[in-house]
Amino acid sequence: MRLSRRGFLAATGSALASAQVALRARDASARGALDSDSALERLVQQTLDAARKAGASYADVRVVRRLDESLSTREAHVTSAASSESYGLGVRVIAGGAWGFAATSRVLPVDAVAVATRAVAMARAASHAVERKVTLAPEPPHVGAWRTPLEVDPFKVGIDEKAAFLLALDAEALRVPGVKFCESSFHAVREWKLVASTDGAWVEQELTRVRPSFSATAIDATTGDFAEREHDIPALQAGWEHVTRSTLLADARRTGEEAVEKLRAPSVTPRRCDLILAPSNLWLTIHESVGHPTELDRALGYEANYAGTSFATVDKLGKLEYAAPAVTLFADKTTPGGLATCAWDDDGVATSRWNLVERGRFVGYQTTREQAGWIGEARSRGTSYAQDYKSFPFQRMPNVSLEPAPGDRGLKEIVAATDDGIVVVGRGSWSIDHQRHNFQFGGQLFYEVKRGKITRALRDVAYQSNSVEFWRSCDLIGGAREVELHGSFYDGKGEPGQVNAVSHGCPPARFRGVNILATDTRRGG
């Protein structure tokens, strides 16, 4: 649908009255009794008016439709197929200096007005207990639309075509002697969201995210030992073309061969040595050791029960040597294909890029409009997000990435410069403490490096360090030509828990003198 918003803009006094939203929402049936764009516009305005009439000093409305589809196969069979849809309206208000929130799945005027009134009542009740009154950093009233650039809508591709592709992966890998099991899956999420506020924001976005996956398991028939290799294809904000243009099918046999190679490889000898991390492994270490520690609510102790707080406290901002001087780590919601990429966050803030660690020094946090003033910043960093209409928006991780070094250094050159080391490829198991400091990470594949050459495969490898020691040990970073974007569909936070999708871009990098452990996984890899 095309939202005209003339009445809304006149009511809010926005100077952007000529702007037009370019996106179309889906079926009229999903909007309940709303049968026109003007009806939805009137409903949103009525909701904001009701919130102000009830005493809100600020209010925003989010109308959200979320589609979720998944398909899984194992060997020659489809094991599961599922789809779900949610549609509704959430109202967030400030009254008496406190937040209030309420939501409904009935997007009808009478229900929306009732929800706005209830949200104000909740805010007034909460205002008696808040220690810090809510103050929002200023933001211009943005009006516009944005959608994921894609070529093939994954929700219009038939389940038969998707299943045929996944089953072809399994069949190809099973040709490899020693490979006994294969699993493939495809997951797609579409989020259509309209955010409007009493400040004059009116932004409409449609995000489409896809996550293909494939793994092969090799088994030693004599001992019962097994090893799994999961393909490194990333989840991205894209369409079905991400799957069909990928190397998944071409790599299927090689994925099985790597599982067999891993099964037969010797265990690593525990020691300290240089660690060379491929982007398919390093992204998760960035997520846990930089992404989560620089969430401001964690640093201040407001987020603790779900995965802990942060060692990167406010007193360290601008002072802590977080990493080696060669390291710059930045946050953004603008990277093409990034899972967290969008034009505006759920506070209506225009998204941007900024440094978290600049030339080794800790210089920035992730903030929302409410949080910016807590550390004396004039504007939000644009990291407010809620997973659906019935969830409260709060600070969520943007894309967090490692800036590549100048030049075209790649994995091959880093290996050639290493005398004694281990290359780690792919995401494995991980563990990090509740201050996001001490950690242990595994991987998918491991290769020994001696005198500048890869000599053999290894298994049972994990690396152990802490966030500051690890990043201070980084001495070689690859160039832009080998940057890859990987990420998570399922980053959890909050109570009640919510899920955010987020990407991390990085080239390969080397870390000196890292502690290597033998995990002794002879009964599983």
Average pLDDT over residues 123-149: 96
d(CA 90, CA 477) in angstroms, rounded, equals 44
Percentage of the residues of the chain whose pLDDT score is greater than 90: 90
Query: Which SS3 state, helix, strand or coil, does residue 454 take?
Result: strand
Write down the pLDDT at residue 5. 41
d(CA 410, CA 414) in angstroms, rounded, equals 6
Write down the pLDDT at residue 525. 42
Alpha carbon of 209 to those of 91, 99, 161, 236, 394: distances in Å?
25, 30, 18, 6, 21
Write down the pLDDT at residue 89. 98
Please give the model's pTM, rounded to 2 decimal places: 0.92
pLDDT, one tens digit per residue, over 485-523 is: 999 999 999 989 999 999 999 999 999 999 999 997 554
* pLDDT over 50 at 372, yes or no: yes
Buried b (16+ CB within 10 A) or exposed e, 86-110: ebbbbbbbbbbebbbbbbbeebbbe
Write down the pLDDT at residue 522. 54
pLDDT, one tens digit per residue, over 163-180 is: 999 999 999 999 999 999
pLDDT, one tens digit per residue, over 90-105 is: 999 999 999 999 999 9
Q: Secondary structure of the chain: what % helix, strand, coil (to 5)? A: 25, 35, 40
Q: Is the distance from CB of 228 to CB of 142 less than 8 angstroms?
A: no
Superfamily of domain 6-260: PmbA/TldD superfamily (3.30.2290.10)
Q: How confident is the model at residue 380 (pLDDT cuts 50, 70, 90)?
A: very high
* pLDDT over 50 at 28, yes or no: no
For residue 103, the Cα-to-chain-centroid distance in whole angstroms is: 24
Write down the pLDDT at residue 37. 77
Write down the pLDDT at residue 431. 95
**Which of 2-6, 399-403, 450-454 is the least confident region?**
2-6
pLDDT, one tens digit per residue, over 211-266 is: 999 999 999 999 999 999 999 999 999 999 999 999 999 999 999 999 999 999 99
Average pLDDT over residues 430-453: 97
Q: What are the residue boundaries of the structural domains of the chain, listed by start?
A: 6-260, 271-518
Percentage of the residues of the chain whose pLDDT score is greater than 70: 92
Query: Which SS3 state, helix, strand or coil, does residue 344 take?
Result: strand
Write down the pLDDT at residue 36. 63
What mean pLDDT, rounded, does the chain reach? 92
Q: Is the distance from CB of 410 to CB of 109 less than 8 angstroms?
A: no
Among positive and negative, which fits the CA dihedral 368, 369, 370, 373?
positive
Write down the pLDDT at residue 521. 53
Phi, psi of 260 (to 5 degrees): -65, -45
Phi, psi of 301 (to 5 degrees): 85, 5
Please indicate whether residue 34 or residue 459 has the higher confidence score (pLDDT): 459
d(CA 251, CA 456) in angstroms, rounded, equals 21
